[in-house]
Amino acid sequence: MGHTGAVWCVDADWDTKHVLTGSADNSCRLWDCETGKQLALLKTNSAVRTCGFDFGGNIIMFSTDKQMGYQCFVSFFDLRDPSQIDSNEPYMKIPCNDSKITSAVWGPLGECIIAGHESGELNQYSAKSGEVLVNVKEHSRQINDIQLSRDMTMFVTASKDNTAKLFDSTTLEHQKTFRTERPVNSAALSPNYDHVVLGGGQEAMDVTTTSTRIGKFEARFFHLAFEEEFGRVKGHFGPINSVAFHPDGKSYSSGGEDGYVRIHYFDPQYFEFEFEA
């Protein structure tokens, strides 16, 4: 307990000792994972949209929304320096004047962050200097989600433009496109198979029917290399907001606006579903 607004983002460090959360209450908070004790409170001028630990668990980053007259910023704090936390002053703060960040992850080796914007742009920001290292625009609408591959050489984006796209993590070179007929809210890469799972569906404000088929609420599976859809999984009665693979690649979970988190177990070789929870 502690936040007084919607919690938009959460991340755990590599050994799951600490958890970082960002909220619409204009704060980013650090917690002890075992006890739930609040360890740090970082106040902001607007809602915190994305947050994350670097791979050593020493550096945190978070981005704030462009709202109430305040522009979007990405802030970096070094947890090894208590003075930064006490003074609420990051060691680096990057302004994002043109379009707010809607999704962000740490890049390979923690040298940069990869940020997706409301405009559909992707930027790679240096974690040392703050400069924009690479800028690309392959999406035409907002990027809702970014998830890295297991080896961090690639990442997949999910966008309101009805597509998910695969990129090289270092160069941001566009590799593959996975097309649907509805906005894609989340996409994930299998850790050990050539599978990509997409979740999304017609936006809640536009849904005028309870039919799961019309709303396109299935999780959809694509082949990573051939970009072809090879399976759909029903279950949710509203748009899917997030998807994630289990580390063994034999199950995945999805969270939807219908208030359910569903876990599906399947045989990846034959794509035969065994059971769901």
pLDDT tens for the chain, 277 residues: list them. 899 999 999 999 999 999 999 999 999 999 999 999 999 999 999 999 999 999 999 999 999 998 878 889 999 999 999 999 999 999 999 998 788 999 999 998 899 999 999 999 999 999 999 999 999 999 999 999 999 999 999 999 999 999 999 999 999 999 999 999 999 999 999 999 999 999 998 765 665 554 545 556 899 999 999 999 999 999 899 999 999 999 999 999 999 999 999 999 887 776 666 666 6
| Per-residue confidence (pLDDT) for residue 67, from 0 to 100 | 82
Token reading at 102: 């809607």
| Per-residue confidence (pLDDT) for residue 206, from 0 to 100 | 61
| Per-residue confidence (pLDDT) for residue 86, from 0 to 100 | 94
Q: Residue 99 in contact with residue 121, Cβ under 8 Å?
A: yes
Domains of the chain with CATH codes: 149-276 (2.130.10.10)
| Per-residue confidence (pLDDT) for residue 69, from 0 to 100 | 82
* CB atoms near residue 215 (< 10 Å): 21
| Per-residue confidence (pLDDT) for residue 97, from 0 to 100 | 77
CA–CA gap between residue 248 and residue 236 (Å, rounded): 23
At which residue do the structure tokens 């981005």 appear? 63
| Per-residue confidence (pLDDT) for residue 275, from 0 to 100 | 60
* CB atoms near residue 85 (< 10 Å): 18
Name residues whose C-beta falls within 8 Å of residue 74's C-beta, 6 or more positions apart in sequence: 61, 62, 63, 93, 94, 96, 101, 104, 113, 115, 125
If phi over 0 gives left and psi between -120 and 50 gives alpha, with beta otherwise, what is residue 107? beta
| Per-residue confidence (pLDDT) for residue 274, from 0 to 100 | 62
